[in-house]
Copies of this chain bind each other. A is one copy, B any other.
Amino acid sequence: MSGAQAKQSASGQKVKTAITPTRGEDFPQWYQAIIKAADMAENSPVRGSMIIKPYGFALWENIQRALDDMIKAEGVQNAYFPLLIPLSFISREAEHVDGFAKECAVVTHHRLEAGPDGKLIPAPSAELEEPFVIRPTSETIIGDAMSRWVQSYRDLPLLLNQWCNVMRWEMRTRLFLRTSEFLWQEGHNAFETAEDAHEDAMKMLRVYNELYENVLAMPGIMGEKTADERFPGAVRTFTIEAMMQDGKALQACTSHDLGQNFAKSCNIQFQGRDGQQHHAYTTSWGLSTRSIGGLIMTHGDDDGMIMPPKIAPHQVTIIPIVRDDAGAAMVIERCKEISDGLRRAGFRVHFDNSDARTPDKMWGSIKRGVPVRVEIGQREAEEGTLTFIRRDLGKDSKKTVKVEEFFGTLQSVLDTMQADMLARARKFTNDNITDVKTLGDIRSFYEGGGLGFVRAPSSIINEAGLAELKKDLSLTTRCLPFADEGKTVLIGKSY
């Protein structure tokens, strides 16, 4: 069920951790183990598709709610477009089809029947005249709708978003980070001018950055992708690159300035202010369940997940500490009162009144990363106090306070924890970006076991040896950070 494993630390001391292996021992295995320990997701019998379990899905719902509000505040409207895309649509944009044709699920039949051996097979008589792909992304099908909806400059800007599932047939999958089916939002906006589209792509990236920093407590580096890393069909692709605790990069979201590429291939034309027909300029921007993988690899520790308070499915766990039946009723009653009171005050509370053992309840709360754990025993119940522990600081943060005091300070405890989590992750990121000058510097940095990103002069992109170096060391170009105005490039290993 649970309990910490006894571990040998580097210094030879016994250290207890709830997750085996630890981050330091085997980061990829730790990642799988923490998802299991926190009960967030699991692999399904459908190769490459995951099951998002209730605790993981509650997290996604909180991310959705936060981002959806921010998207709507920008004047974007939600809508819903078909799951299936005709092959003729996906073929419309040349780079786009190259990018997605190699890994997509193809629907070819619309009926099953019993085959010769009695097993079900696709009915030969029900083969589709034109097959469909399950959307890997929806530029073409939404572009087609836009071609009908946009007639005049008065119809612009047209700002649309959908929350949906998409599918890309991945051969090597990993929970949340890379799955054949994943959940995301994809925004698709259309504008009158190239400048409007460019500004929109930048603006939506800033919206994502606000979500990452202020809600997920994940600092990211905003920048532009180099040509070889652009979205298929985009003129410019903007990205947020986040550094995971193993020093690798996660592309946390992207926002694309599509110029007139999709407007031309989908025929999105409008009568302009000059009375002439013009092609629109479009953008697209997406953030997916991959963000949860990033959240785990940014904040998890060797005892389990640590949830940023703003999106934690439970902000507080309340655990009754019951030693004998005599005092039990009072302790349970007190826990219930406090849970109800906190819920009325707007907090997300988990009162763990299950029949699990007390240590299992405590470790359950730790592994799931609930920000604040409250323990109430008979003594606390009698004295009108409670004991609480901040998940990220552990037992050193343990405090016993009057219940009224806890009610008065909980919000600020959560706010402080949220800020501390961001600050720690930011420090880790900043500490692990190393400035380099030459290809040789990069090689010696990573061959010497260097961790994190390197930041090089952007002129290095054009050097002949870069491709070979990247191949040798499994490096990729992450982005040209906005902060350095194109003068530098970030390079690193990545997910």
Interface residues of A (CB under 8 A from B): 44-46, 49-54, 57-58, 60-61, 77-87, 89-91, 97, 101-113, 119-122, 131-134, 141, 144-145, 154, 160, 164-165, 167, 169, 181, 183, 355
Give Cα distance in the complex from A191 to B422, angstroms: 43
Cross-chain pairs A/B with CB under 8 angstroms, 6 sampled: A53-B79, A54-B78, A105-B110, A106-B112, A121-B131, A134-B134
Give Cα distance in the complex from A491 to B90, angstroms: 47
Copy total for this chain: 2
Contact status B111-A104, CB under 8 Å: yes
A148: nearest residue on chain B (CB-CB)?
B42
Residue of B60, B104, B110, B121 near A103 (CB, 8 A) is B110
Contact status B102-A80, CB under 8 Å: no
Chain B nearest CB: distance from A125 CB in Å? 12
What B residues does A89 contact at CB under 8 A?
Answer: 45
Contact status A44-B165, CB under 8 Å: no
What B residues does A108 contact at CB under 8 A?
Answer: 106-109, 122
Give Cα distance in the complex from A51 to B80, angstroms: 6
- Beyond the given A51-B80, A58-B77, A102-B111, please list 16 additional residue pairs across the A-B interface where CB-CB is below 8 A: A44-B81, A44-B145, A49-B82, A54-B78, A82-B181, A101-B120, A104-B111, A106-B107, A106-B109, A106-B110, A106-B112, A106-B122, A110-B169, A111-B169, A154-B355, A165-B165
Contact status A134-B83, CB under 8 Å: yes
A53: nearest residue on chain B (CB-CB)?
B79
A89: nearest residue on chain B (CB-CB)?
B45
Chain B nearest CB: distance from A90 CB in Å? 7
Contact status A104-B97, CB under 8 Å: no
Contact status B106-A49, CB under 8 Å: no
